[in-house]
Amino acid sequence: MIILPDKTIRLEYSVIGIGAIILQCMGTSESVSSLWEKLKLRDEINTYEKFISGLILLFSIGIIMYNNGVLTKNKQ
């Protein structure tokens, strides 16, 4: 997986772009499985590996939080 876009990988197919798509489609709080159901048919996120890579990025930089099976957007 490419984290940043380059001359051969468009933004929406990079991990940064996938993270942005996840944030756009995510409600204030949502389970991982319900979010996956919303996004799995998108061309940019058509594999679970890409979806999880986007979530890991968002979690590691503090944009989303995971608690008791629910993802929430960090308000800070």
User: What residues contact 76, with CB distance under 8 A and at least 6 apart?
Assistant: 62
- Domains of the chain in start order, with CATH, are 11-73 (1.10.10)
The pLDDT of residue 56: 96
Strands 64-67 and 29-31: unpaired
Measured CA to CA, the distance from residue 4 to residue 26 in angstroms comes to 21
Give pLDDT tens digits for 20-57.
999 999 988 999 999 999 999 999 998 999 999 999 99
Residue 75's pLDDT band (cuts 50, 70, 90): confident
30 neighbors 68 (Cβ within 8 angstroms): no
pTM: 0.90
Measured CA to CA, the distance from residue 30 to residue 42 in angstroms comes to 18
Residue 2's pLDDT band (cuts 50, 70, 90): confident
